[in-house]
Amino acid sequence: MPTSKMTSKGQVTIPIEVRKDMGVGTGSTLEFLPDKDRAWKVVRKKRSIMELAGFFELASTPISIPDMDVKLRQHAVKEHFAGEEN
């Protein structure tokens, strides 16, 4: 079982196997959630949809939901079959 010691500044190094299993790395934010048994659960913080504001370019013309569904389906099929020989 991986272990770690706390420094005098309250810092703890998370062992590499735990970081890999949690999918965290430099810049990741962790949340500490209390349990009913006074234990704590450490989890990777999920990103808020609001963090994506301004991330995507706006389309020059609006697209309808049905048209968007078609485009997404086409992209998914293209990605799924990428690299396969006919």
pLDDT above 70: residue 85:
no
Domain 1-47 fold: Pemi-like Protein 1; Chain: D (2.10.260)
Kindly give, in sequence order, each residue whose CB lies less than 8 Å from that of residue 24, ignoring residues fewer than 6 positions away.
14, 30, 44
* Calpha distance 31→41 (Å, rounded): 8
* Calpha distance 76→79 (Å, rounded): 5
Extended strands (E) in the chain:
30-34, 40-44
pLDDT above 90: residue 84:
no
pLDDT above 90: residue 70:
yes
- With b for 16 or more beta-carbon neighbours within 10 A and e for fewer, the 26-57 pattern comes to eeeeeeeeeeeeeeeeeeeeeeeeeeeeeeee
User: For 28-44, what is each residue's pLDDT tens digit?
Assistant: 899 999 998 889 999 99
pLDDT above 90: residue 54:
no
